[in-house]
A and B are shown apart, each in its own frame.
Chain A
């Protein structure tokens, strides 16, 4: 296939026809659920959150559809430069963070705030897909071949940890692992890495100061501190649990309406939803997210180029990681790490990066029959 020197081109009509409109519809639906939650979180008002959420959603969807029309080879070409740019930005925020003597995750560009860690998630997926694109199974199974992609994961993870932003670091590791896994890296190599990490952990624990250990313990078990960090998760569980099967009724969630629920419009938006619509509404919303992820995985398997496959599955799993970490966090299954629920939580940056990601995903899907040279001409 890759011997075709003359790549076929697609007309605009072809492209529009082959956009996965069902996926777009599911995303619109999730965005609409987000509008309803934010409307309720404001006590039954489009201000201050729901209206702006809708505007961002509309703008983000337009941007997503525009990106979907972009030739997939453009992503292939910019993968390395984009990754380099992303690493540079991470170094920049770390330096600024040292200068300000505090955690720094943003680069302020006047009207827009740039969050390098969000850019890095997409850049990492693209660069790994680019690296693995020419690799046959035999290449992947050579340990030396994996050294470079391991570094591609390790460098941004290290830079993010310095911020410190454990949530994003875990997301990046998960995404890297997903792509390694999808290319067919052997199980035992994953097992080896996990075993190594577990072996190193006690040594690291021994080297830590007491106050550092205390921080880790509070982080791992916030309910030990019911007035501080634990307050959030305790109130979130009360809100969720008191929703019952049918919920307390839309606009009638007492925990959210009476402000017992912290961050009810951002990180804990899912709790607001689950309190008011109960097990039924929460499960239905989770089903929407799962639907999007499964559609993405399905799209990946029908692409002709390895690059497109890896990009699509990587971006799908990025979305899945967001949703799973956020909901598991508000349900008290994992520590509070401060990751929002995409398309539902209030916040422009995350919605924008998620929809850009889906733009690239749709682009790769639209061009799923387009071959990409194993080693393109420079």
Chain B
């Protein structure tokens, strides 16, 4: 009995301890709950939220590009595309294999998509193909159950209604490349369907055109499926851009130039620098680049000797030839080495030490004054003026008119041209300057190089009363605003400009002018200009004797460039134009008629525009 009492006492004591121990364990559990849910609760709430919520970007629509009359030059068109989401398919290679069978994708393309999908986060859709036909859409839709993770949806593609007519100016868009991704924080660039501007206006104004991405916050479950949309902020669509370009004029310029193998032209408003046409042939089809250009197409564009990818109007550098003589004349007048009535006798050549420099006219022009020297494009006159000036003074005036440095047009890749000086030659070629080189520089040969756009700017600055206009394309863009707030004067006396303009007038309108056949068709309006024929290859004494250098049967790439710069109307200049026909022969025969037609067209458009309210100017 006593044993039982003792046993029970021990049992009760031990039970109490077990009960207390259990309470202790449960207390520990509650403490742990407190730690997780209260002390660390905030942190776990964040983790849970980042589990739950996935952010998806919404592509904003890209801004349109319009001509000065509001006609679309680049807009967006609807298209069907197919994409794949890695996390939604258990067997990505297998799914792509089946899809590839339906669409006829090459093995390399499938491998490319696979690599892309592996490189991006697993929930980001990767583009497989765009621009599906209706038949292809139906084929995929029917087999949808066998294609997990394959998304069919409507997207947009960049559409260029004018295609090659404007390819050089607008550029094109394409998938973001790896170098473009670096240093860019805009999340839009991470989206596979985003297209970035690669050239031209599309590239120069890409930040404005692309807009801001919208954001859709969706609830996703553990395997990444979207359960519902929590909220959504629409992005900002890209800004529409209005260009100074006139679509009609651009079309006309391209078709007029397309008769030539390679040519470029720039036509601008001499009052504000707005570019109305910027043409370059041959051209290319910008839609080739939409989804990444094929290797074959790219190679053929890149290796073409005629450089269809290059807009020669501001990337092509040519010896300006006689179109440079206005610079020699202005520099001569301004520095006082000649007067307007200074006459110089041209005997057909001029000697400099032991070297003879030839005028283009074998017998010479006789004694000519400055205006006559421009009218007849006498080389000897300008050799002599350049000799009196020296290269550095000549260069200084050429620069004032925009030669030898980038005009700053709002397009990427502009070339600066060359206006040589003694220092320039030392710096770039590490050679001393020869005095003979000053003479050939005086007629725009030798080292002198200029783009057609630079020549148009030079002409505009000559005829607009000596104001430093600079060319621009996008209305409201930085370049236009910089250009038109306050036009700086070039810093040349008006009477000197007038003498040169008189010479340019006589080129077209005098019976002995080099371009007398190029008078305008527009009644009652007169134009002025200057021809240029620049040598590509040095003419040897043997050539001169045989007369072979003028023959049409020398190889195309050795023929002369034909140039013309001009402006109209003569009384109240409005438009300046520069035309370069690569290896076209004589400036008066080939380039001047083109320039005349462009000015004619611009003036006609002006008349129709004047009759109706202007779209590009505030009422």
* Assembled-state Cα–Cα distance A339/B113 (Å): 45
User: Is B22's CB under 8 angstroms from A244's CB?
Assistant: no
B26's partner among A138, A238, A324 (CB-CB below 8 A) is A324
Q: Within 8 Å CB of B26, what residues of A?
A: 286, 289-290, 324
User: Is B12's CB under 8 angstroms from A245's CB?
Assistant: no
User: Smallest distance from the beta carbon of A185 to chain B beta carbons, Å?
Assistant: 9
- Given A244-B41, A333-B32, answer yes or no on A258-B14 (Cβ-Cβ < 8 Å): no
User: Is B29's CB under 8 angstroms from A286's CB?
Assistant: yes
Q: Within 8 Å CB of B219, what residues of A?
A: 254, 258
Q: Within 8 Å CB of B44, what residues of A?
A: 237-242
User: Is B18's CB under 8 angstroms from A178's CB?
Assistant: yes
* Assembled-state Cα–Cα distance A260/B54 (Å): 14
* Assembled-state Cα–Cα distance A140/B28 (Å): 32
Which of under 10, 10 to 19, 20 to 34, or 35 or more describes the interface residues of A? 35 or more
* Assembled-state Cα–Cα distance A239/B222 (Å): 13
Interface residue? B186 (CB, 8 A): no
Closest chain B residue to A313, Cβ basis: B15
Q: Within 8 Å CB of A278, what residues of B?
A: 37
Q: Which of A276-311 contact B (CB under 8 A)?
A: 278-279, 282-283, 286, 289-290, 293-294, 297-298, 300-301, 306, 309
User: Smallest distance from the beta carbon of B122 to chain A beta carbons, Å?
Assistant: 13
Beta-carbon contacts of B11-39 to A below 8 Å, as 1s and 0s?
11011011100110110111011101110
Q: Within 8 Å CB of B34, what residues of A?
A: 279
User: Is B10's CB under 8 angstroms from A317's CB?
Assistant: no
A245's partner among B3, B17, B32, B37 (CB-CB below 8 A) is B37
User: Is A282's CB under 8 angstroms from B7's CB?
Assistant: no
Interface residue? B51 (CB, 8 A): yes
User: Is A182's CB under 8 angstroms from B221's CB?
Assistant: no
A259's partner among B7, B48, B221 (CB-CB below 8 A) is B221
* Assembled-state Cα–Cα distance A130/B11 (Å): 16
* Assembled-state Cα–Cα distance A243/B36 (Å): 9
Q: Which of B38, B43, B223 has the most CB of A within 10 A?
A: B38
User: Is A243's CB under 8 angstroms from B22's CB?
Assistant: no
Interface residue? B6 (CB, 8 A): yes
User: Smallest distance from the beta carbon of B173 to chain A beta carbons, Å?
Assistant: 38
Q: Within 8 Å CB of B32, what residues of A?
A: 328, 331, 333
Q: Which of B31-61 contact A (CB under 8 A)?
A: 32-34, 36-38, 40-41, 43-45, 47-49, 51-52
Interface residue? A255 (CB, 8 A): yes
User: Is B7's CB under 8 angstroms from A306's CB?
Assistant: yes
- Given A184-B11, A241-B40, A297-B18, answer yes or no on A254-B3 (Cβ-Cβ < 8 Å): no
In order of increasing CB-CB distance, the 4 nearest A-B pairs are A241-B44, A242-B48, A258-B221, A184-B10
Taking Cβ atoms with an 8 Å cutoff, the residues of A that contact B are 1, 136-138, 178, 181-184, 235, 237-245, 254-255, 258-260, 274, 278-279, 282-283, 286, 289-290, 293-294, 297-298, 300-301, 306, 309, 313, 317, 320, 324, 327-328, 331-333
Taking Cβ atoms with an 8 Å cutoff, the residues of B that contact A are 3-4, 6-7, 10-12, 14-15, 17-19, 22-23, 25-26, 28-30, 32-34, 36-38, 40-41, 43-45, 47-49, 51-52, 219-223, 227
Further 10 A-B residue pairs, CB within 8 A, beyond A239-B48, A286-B29: A136-B7, A182-B11, A239-B44, A241-B45, A242-B44, A244-B37, A286-B26, A306-B11, A313-B18, A333-B29
